Each structure stands twice: as C-alpha cells, then as structure tokens.
Amino acid sequence: MKAVVLYDTTLRDGAQAEGVSFSLDDKIRIAQRLDSLGIDYIEGGWPGSNPKDMEFLQRWSDYGLKHATLCAFGSTRRAGTPVVEDPNLRAIVESGVTVATIFGKSWDFHVTNVLRATLDENLAMIEESVRFLRSKGLRVFYDGEHFFDGYRANPEYAIRTLEAAASAGAEVLVLCDTNGGFLPQYVSPIVTEVVKRFPGVDIGVHMHNDAGTGVANTLVGVDSGAKHVQGTMNGYGERAGNADLCTIIANLKLKMGVDCVTEEQLAQLTKTSHFIDEIANRRPNPHQPYVGRSVFTHKAGVHVNALLKHPITYEHIDASLVGNRRRVVVSELSGGSNIRYKAREFDLNIDDDPDRIASILNSVKNLEYEGYSFEGAEASFELMLRRTLGLHEDLFELEGFRLIIEKKGNNGPPVAEATVKIRIGDETIHTAAEGDGPVNALDNALRKALIQVYPEIEKIALTDYKVRVLDAESGTAAKVRVLIESTSGEYPWGTVGVSTNIIEASWRALADSIEYGLLRKPGMSAQKDPVD
C-alpha cells in the first residue's frame, strides 16, 4: 500500500488532557523525538491562544528537524469578522510556519447553536479562511470538526463544508469524530463516500476515544481510503483521549503493510512512548498495546510451557520489532516452565531436574501464600533462586538494628535515628544515621556501614517505596508487603519484603535491594530471551 502520512497533535490536542502541561523546553524535546520516529507533521500549537505556542512555532528552524514539518493550528474566522482582521488567522501567518491546520464546523447543529451563525455564513467562513491562508503562501489542512455527527444529521450540508474548504485550496480534508462516539461499522461507509466525492484531495481522519474505538476507527478509515492519519502519542487528549499513535503506527506497519515508518524507527516506538510519558510526568500504562511493559509478559504456566516451544503460541508479533521485550513472571499461578525460563534468563543451570524445579516452585507458592509477590520484585526472586541453588553467599549479615523516633513539640517533624550492626566476613561494623523516617534512617545507616567495604554502593539509589496492607481486617496488626524499586542509573530492579511489622518488611526489601545492586554483574538479569 502507499504510505500513509502521520500527523501528530500531542503538543496541542494531547496537551488538553487533564494533568498534562508542556513547557517550551518540553515541546522542543518531544518534537525532536517525534521527528526521529518518522512523524511527518507535528502540530505545534495554537499561536492565537497563548504566547508559549507562538514562541515555539516561531523558533521551529532552531530545532534541527530532519523530516517532520511543524504546523500551526487555529479556527476559521469568527462570525461577523472580516477574514483579514481575524486575530487567530493573523497569528497563524505571523508564526512563520509553512503549514496551517484550521478547523471549521461540519455539524449544522453546532453552526446554529454554538456559532449562532447561518449555514451559509459558516460555509463562507470556511472558504474565506482557507483562501486567506493560501494567499499568504501557506499549505492548508482542513479539519472538519464533528464531521461524522454532522454527516449523520445532515449529510448534504456536511459535504458542502468540505467542498468549501477544497474549492479554496485545502490540501487535506480531515474527517473528525470530535465526540469520539462512533463505531467502526459506521465510520467505514462515510469515509468511503467522502473519498469517492473528492478524488483530487487527500482525505484524513482524526478520532477521539470516548467509546474506546479511536484506534479501530482510524484503521478502518485508512482501509476505506484515508491517506492522512492524526493522533497523539499514548492517546493523550481531552476526556478519554485521542486515538493512540503508538498503536496506530504499529498496526499500520505490521498488520496492514502500510509503509509509514522504517523498521529502525518502529524499533524506537517503545522508548519514544515512555520518553513522552516521562516528559509529561505520567506513569507509562503497562497494558498499552505494543509498548506497555506487560503486553509481552507471561504468567500462567501453560502459556510459558507453550512459549518455550514456539513464541507465536502466545505472542502476535516479535516484541523487539517495536522495541519492547518478552518477560516471564513467577507467581502461585506458575508452573515448572516459568522456573526453567527464569533460570535460563538468569544464566543459571538447573539441569531440568524435575525434583529441584518442583522444590523451587513449591517455595515460590508458599512465599506467595505468605504475602510475597515477585511480579514487581524480580531481583528478590533471582536472589532467592541463587540461594536455593547454593550459588549465592550474602555480602553482609545483619546482627541487629535499633530505631529511635523522637518528636519535640507539636510543630517540628519527628526525627528518626537508626543504629545498625552488620557482619562482613570476620568484621563487625556498627553505625548510626538519621533520616526523614525510619526506613530512610535504616537505609542511611546500612549504606554508612557498607561503603567502607563496598564504595560502589554510592551508585545505588532507591527510587520508589510502596506499602500494601494484605489483611486489612487485622487492623494495626495486619501483615504488610513492601516493594522497593532501586536503580544504578543504568537499570532498575525491584525487591520485596513481607511481615506483620512494617519496619521488618522494609528491612527485608531494603537488604535485598542493596545486596542485588552490589552483586549484579553483566550476566545477572541480562534480559536475554531463553526462547531465541
């Protein structure tokens, strides 16, 4: 199939998502990453709405974009305002871009109830706005807002709005499901009809996701003849969001044979998705198709058994094509295949000994029964596996710790002090340290003791600490699970501890975290694929 043009509106439509706000520097970094991904057009913002978008667009030549073209967004002229005096259109021209995307009303209901204009005046607003921008040397993409709702209510008028834009020189006519409520079976015939009615103009689709069909509607639109696809990375957008370009790109390339990006660019999809989540200060969705951390993760023993025989048994594509990777996790639902898989992943030889595998599996299930969970704590599982196989000798041994928490008066914060005594070989080290809380004090005291022998501990940083109450009905005597995530700056790892005492659970997770970070060598958790 002929390549489909990719149009990203993360920086404008995506920024309308609740909780998302991009600084000028954020927008520049995202635009550069989208350019590397192979996006053809990047909608940089609405210059008539705020000075940040205007500055971002005016500086576009500074960003070093090698492929993408930056576009300015705006609306048709206001009702009753001469086109040459409309501030939004003038701002687009002043932004210095070469491509303008403007939207107009396609739904007669919106024209009469929102614009408070006549149907003929709306057609004039569309035609005059496009013609004005074209007269200033800009290429124009026209977004037909609420087009699908408008077509359903009054198909003749909806088509006339497109004719007004096309007659004035619009290069692309984009059909928008602005309310995001259409289903694929209703999208297809409408797109097919519009493509037939406008043979000399490219047709595009812009779908929102309020019915959960944004991606499906986009793919149906392409299958029905659309050559221009709009969306946002990770599906950012107002309400339920826009159609997710990550999923769209992967489906176009891998499922529909549409040459929209190169194979090398597709392999950067997962990193790009997570990079943008990081910039937006959002936690990546682990279940997001193609790029989510969990979408190539296997837990059930039956699945892993089949996976070891052939990947396609439970995977629809090779995860590496989109820059993701396969993961197998261990839990009480696991079978012997999970243990074999993880042992191979960790480069450990268990000789496929059924008795040894059964013993390890039984230990896992008993620990899970006690409240442990290794899905987010693979470092603890790897240490447990190495200890079981007699392949691990602890770097330090706890002889004891003591915590003192002191609060003076009602205004000042409490101060925690931890005293830790550990043994390393024949030497006993006794240290004390303060912290913002008891766990922080323990962490500081342990590091103070270990740094004398293991200076590389300075590279290990705790990045996340979670506590979950496992049996709330026990009240303050409830058993708790503590999950700790740490990093060396190059890779993260997770550890777990469980106890009825939150400090004891925290210590177990903390000790595993430090132990793993100090022991980790290139062969440990190398993330190689045992199936390949």
pLDDT at 397 over 70: yes
The DSSP line for 419-450 is EEEEEETTEEEEEEEEESSHHHHHHHHHHHHH
Structure confidence at residue 532 (pLDDT): 46
CB of 324 closer than 8 Å to CB of 296: yes
Structure confidence at residue 179 (pLDDT): 95
* Helix, strand, coil share of the chain (percent; to 5): 45, 20, 35
CB of 259 closer than 8 Å to CB of 224: no
Instruction: Please count the other Cβ atoms lying within 10 Å of the Cβ belonging to residue 430.
Output: 12
Helix (H, G, I), strand (E, B) or coil at 521: coil
| Residue 250 host element (H or E) | helix 245-254
- Provide the H-helix boundaries in 14-118: 24-37, 51-58, 87-94, 108-110
CB of 259 closer than 8 Å to CB of 1: yes
Q: Which residue has the tokens 């000798």?
A: 393
d(CA 441, CA 420): 10
| Residue 2 host element (H or E) | none
Instruction: Please count the other Cβ atoms lying within 10 Å of the Cβ belonging to residue 147.
Output: 30
Quick one: average pLDDT of 193-203? 96
- 269-273, 386-390, 490-494: range with highest mean pLDDT: 269-273
Structure confidence at residue 301 (pLDDT): 62
Q: Which domains does the chain have, with CATH numbers?
A: 5-279 (3.20.20.70), 297-388 (no CATH), 397-519 (3.30.160.270)
- Per-residue model confidence as pLDDT tens digits over 264-281: 999 999 999 999 999 998
pLDDT at 523 over 60: no
d(CA 87, CA 66): 31
| Residue 141 host element (H or E) | strand 139-145
- Per-residue model confidence as pLDDT tens digits over 58-105: 988 888 899 999 999 999 999 989 999 999 999 999 999 999 999 999
Amino acid identity of 246? C
Q: What are phi and psi of 149, to 5 degrees?
A: -65, -40
Residue 190 in tokens? 């409408």
pLDDT at 528 over 50: no
Find how far residue 523's CA is from the centre of its chain: 29
Beta-carbon contacts of residue 255 (< 8 Å; ≥ 6 apart): none
